[in-house]
Protein backbone atom coordinates (compact mmCIF):
# COMPACT_ATOMS: atom_id res chain seq x y z
CA UNK A 1 0.00 0.00 0.00
CA UNK A 2 1.10 3.56 -0.55
CA UNK A 3 0.08 7.01 0.66
CA UNK A 4 0.37 10.37 -1.05
CA UNK A 5 0.17 13.72 0.72
CA UNK A 6 -0.30 17.14 -0.82
CA UNK A 7 -0.07 19.79 1.88
CA UNK A 8 -1.14 22.78 -0.20
CA UNK A 9 -4.92 22.84 -0.80
CA UNK A 10 -4.57 25.98 -2.91
CA UNK A 11 -1.78 27.94 -4.59
CA UNK A 12 -1.86 31.20 -6.49
CA UNK A 13 0.70 32.52 -8.97
CA UNK A 14 0.98 35.46 -11.32
CA UNK A 15 0.87 34.71 -15.01
CA UNK A 16 4.38 34.13 -16.46
CA UNK A 17 5.87 33.36 -13.05
CA UNK A 18 7.04 30.04 -11.61
CA UNK A 19 5.19 27.97 -9.04
CA UNK A 20 6.09 24.77 -7.20
CA UNK A 21 3.51 22.27 -5.95
CA UNK A 22 4.56 19.95 -3.15
CA UNK A 23 3.96 16.23 -2.76
CA UNK A 24 5.28 13.59 -0.39
CA UNK A 25 4.62 9.89 -0.64
CA UNK A 26 5.24 6.69 1.21
CA UNK A 27 5.56 3.18 -0.16
CA UNK A 28 7.28 0.03 0.97
CA UNK A 29 7.93 -1.03 -2.61
CA UNK A 30 11.27 -0.48 -4.30
CA UNK A 31 9.72 -0.31 -7.75
CA UNK A 32 7.21 2.48 -8.12
CA UNK A 33 6.13 5.30 -10.37
CA UNK A 34 5.10 8.84 -9.54
CA UNK A 35 2.76 11.05 -11.52
CA UNK A 36 1.30 14.51 -11.65
CA UNK A 37 -2.16 14.81 -13.14
CA UNK A 38 -4.09 17.96 -14.01
CA UNK A 39 -7.88 18.14 -13.71
CA UNK A 40 -9.38 21.25 -15.31
CA UNK A 41 -13.05 22.21 -14.85
CA UNK A 42 -13.90 19.82 -17.70
CA UNK A 43 -13.15 17.06 -15.10
CA UNK A 44 -10.92 15.04 -17.40
CA UNK A 45 -7.68 13.97 -15.74
CA UNK A 46 -4.66 14.70 -17.92
CA UNK A 47 -1.21 13.28 -17.29
CA UNK A 48 1.29 16.11 -16.87
CA UNK A 49 4.48 14.24 -16.07
CA UNK A 50 5.70 10.83 -14.92
CA UNK A 51 8.79 9.74 -12.99
CA UNK A 52 10.13 6.22 -12.64
CA UNK A 53 11.61 5.72 -9.18
CA UNK A 54 14.68 3.93 -10.51
CA UNK A 55 15.65 6.95 -12.61
CA UNK A 56 17.75 9.52 -10.83
CA UNK A 57 17.26 12.18 -13.48
CA UNK A 58 14.29 14.45 -12.88
CA UNK A 59 11.59 14.26 -15.55
CA UNK A 60 10.78 17.34 -17.61
CA UNK A 61 7.99 18.10 -20.09
CA UNK A 62 8.30 21.53 -21.65
CA UNK A 63 7.38 24.04 -18.90
CA UNK A 64 6.79 21.28 -16.35
CA UNK A 65 9.56 19.65 -14.34
CA UNK A 66 9.81 17.66 -11.14
CA UNK A 67 12.18 17.63 -8.22
CA UNK A 68 12.35 13.98 -7.19
CA UNK A 69 14.04 13.46 -3.83
CA UNK A 70 13.91 9.70 -3.31
CA UNK A 71 15.42 9.58 0.17
CA UNK A 72 13.04 12.26 1.39
CA UNK A 73 10.12 10.69 -0.52
CA UNK A 74 9.36 14.04 -2.05
CA UNK A 75 8.06 14.71 -5.56
CA UNK A 76 7.36 18.36 -6.29
CA UNK A 77 6.12 19.84 -9.56
CA UNK A 78 7.53 23.09 -10.94
CA UNK A 79 5.56 25.01 -13.51
CA UNK A 80 7.57 27.69 -15.30
CA UNK A 81 6.14 30.63 -17.22
CA UNK A 82 2.65 29.96 -15.82
CA UNK A 83 -0.20 30.40 -18.27
CA UNK A 84 -3.91 30.97 -17.73
CA UNK A 85 -4.57 27.52 -19.14
CA UNK A 86 -2.57 25.98 -16.30
CA UNK A 87 -5.36 26.81 -13.84
CA UNK A 88 -6.71 23.50 -12.57
CA UNK A 89 -6.59 20.96 -9.76
CA UNK A 90 -3.26 19.15 -9.68
CA UNK A 91 -3.03 15.67 -8.24
CA UNK A 92 0.11 13.81 -7.27
CA UNK A 93 -0.18 10.04 -7.60
CA UNK A 94 1.85 6.92 -6.94
CA UNK A 95 1.68 3.41 -8.35
CA UNK A 96 3.69 0.52 -6.99
CA UNK A 97 3.62 -3.24 -6.79
CA UNK A 98 3.08 -3.57 -10.52
CA UNK A 99 0.04 -1.35 -10.28
CA UNK A 100 -1.95 -3.91 -8.34
CA UNK A 101 -3.73 -1.24 -6.31
CA UNK A 102 -4.13 1.21 -9.15
CA UNK A 103 -3.08 4.80 -8.69
CA UNK A 104 -3.06 6.31 -5.20
CA UNK A 105 -3.81 10.01 -5.38
CA UNK A 106 -3.18 12.92 -3.06
CA UNK A 107 -6.02 15.27 -2.13
CA UNK A 108 -5.00 17.76 -4.78
CA UNK A 109 -3.82 21.37 -5.04
CA UNK A 110 -6.04 23.99 -6.62
CA UNK A 111 -3.80 26.21 -8.75
CA UNK A 112 -5.01 29.72 -9.49
CA UNK A 113 -3.32 31.82 -12.16
CA UNK A 114 -3.59 35.58 -11.63
CA UNK A 115 -3.59 37.54 -14.90
95 part of the interface to other proteins, by CB under 8 A: yes
Mark out the alpha helices in the chain (DSSP H runs): none
105 part of the interface to other proteins, by CB under 8 A: yes
Among the listed residues 45, 50, 47, 72, the one whose alpha carbon sits nearest the alpha carbon of residue 60? 50
Among the listed residues 65, 79, 107, 58, the one whose alpha carbon sits nearest the alpha carbon of residue 14? 79
9 part of the interface to other proteins, by CB under 8 A: no
Q: Shortest distance, CB of residue 70 to other proteins, whole angstroms?
A: 16
Task: List contacts with other proteins (CB under 8 A).
Answer: 32-33, 37, 42-47, 50, 52, 91, 93, 95-96, 98-108
Amino acid sequence: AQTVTQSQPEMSVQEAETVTLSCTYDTSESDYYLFWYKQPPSRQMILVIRQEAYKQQNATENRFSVNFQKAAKSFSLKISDSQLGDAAMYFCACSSGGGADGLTFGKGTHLIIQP
